[in-house]
Structure 1
């Protein structure tokens, strides 16, 4: 795996609408810009990218938790995403994100019974991606339905992939649309 750069962004919301957010909500994205070994060619076996996903799951999640200044057990929500440069395929993002990235990601965030929401797309330099997040142990906790935009100004180049994870230390500011609450989850099936 060839990493050109890693970009970390921490977003802290102190006021939303006309009301202060106390304590502020915090979320972090960590994105790696990597060389796509299969750019410009069709390859049937994508195992190499699956292995890259496994490595990045640990590296990026560990950095995201650290950047929030919390313990892994304090992570509340998570998500993942990838942007493939124009000489790649959407399946290259899928190979990185789905088969193996999840297990090391969950280990770095203290568990996670819910599916890790994801987004992927093809795009050129500066393309943004809204990475969806939800509560890590129960996907139906509405207060934690959110997203964070990930954008690297000089990536992905045609032969690169931007791979990102997002973690939060809370739900949305002023969440009040009802539904399952974090303190009500059973955490048995990853849904409720």
Structure 2
């Protein structure tokens, strides 16, 4: 990877009850996030071209999807929902987050998850360390699967620093617990 990863964080959420109603099997979500350090920004922009960030996005898509799926300990085809996000520090342009998330990351994520075809929802946000980001999720094979519309939150106490960027991939092995909302 051309930009240094200072750390990777994997966060698993397992819901065993929803409003005191048991959820069986448990509803599981995972976020795998990489904290990247970016130095040397200029007034003219971070890079001559964003192409290097497109490639880094693809590499991160593969790496983080693999880490997230491994944390759920399921076959790639068992992933039912996904999303992605980036938090940028105060000295990092938002366009860097877009360059990482959009042109190639989604393709790399789908390549790790056979059968996944849906557009991957995403969010970018500028923040100080400790801020929370809610990562949108929707169905990996059907983007209009209402029971798979959900979110998972991520907060890192010490990131992003002003010259850092946090990139995250979120996966779920099922839809929302007790989902009943249906399309008209």
Instruction: Say yes or no: TM over 0.5.
Output: yes
The 1-side partners of 2:41 and 2:12 are apart by 31
Task: Tell me the residue number matched to 1:167.
Answer: 171
2:71 aligned residue (63, 67, 70) = 67
Deviations, residues 58-97 of structure 1 (Å, cap 9, x unaligned): 0000000000010101010000000011001111100000
- Quick check: 1:110 aligned with 2:109? no
CA distance in 1, matches of 2:94, 2:166: 12
**Residue matched to 2:150:** 146
Question: Which position in structure 1 is the counterpart of 2:183?
Answer: 179
- Cα 1:121/1:65, change in 2 over 3 Å: same
Task: Kindly state the Cα deviation for residue 179 of structure 1 after the two structures are TM-superposed.
Answer: 2.6
Q: Give the distance between the partners of 1:94 and 1:63, measured in 2 at CA.
A: 22
Q: Which digits, 9 at most, give the CA deviation of each residue in 1:135-175, with x for residues without a partner?
A: 01111100000010011111001111000000000000000
Q: Distance in 1 between matches of 2:7 and 2:118?
A: 29
TM-superposed deviation, 1:38: 5.9
> Which position in structure 1 is the counterpart of 2:59?
55
Deviation at 1:104, TM superposition (A): 1.3
| Alpha-carbon offset, residue 18 of structure 1 | 2.7
d(CA) in 1 for partners of 2:130 and 2:40? Answer: 21
Instruction: Give RMSD over aligned pairs.
Output: 1.4
Identify if the C-alpha distance between structure 1 residues 136 and 14 changes in structure 2 by more than 3 Å, giving closer, same or farther.
same
Q: Where does residue 28 of structure 1 map in the other structure?
A: 30
* Structure 2 partner of 1:95: 99
| CA deviation vs aligned residue, 1:11-42 (integer Å, no higher than 9, x gap) | 00001013110111001000000012564541
Q: Which runs of 5+ in 2 are unaligned?
A: none
Q: Distance in 2 between matches of 1:168 and 1:110?
A: 15
Could you say what secondary structure the match of 2:151 adopts?
Answer: strand
Higher deviation after alignment, 102-111 or 153-162: 102-111
Name the CA distance, whole Å, in 1 between partners of 2:41 and 2:132.
Answer: 20
Structure 1 residue ranges, 4+ long, deviating more than 3 angstroms after superposition: 37-41
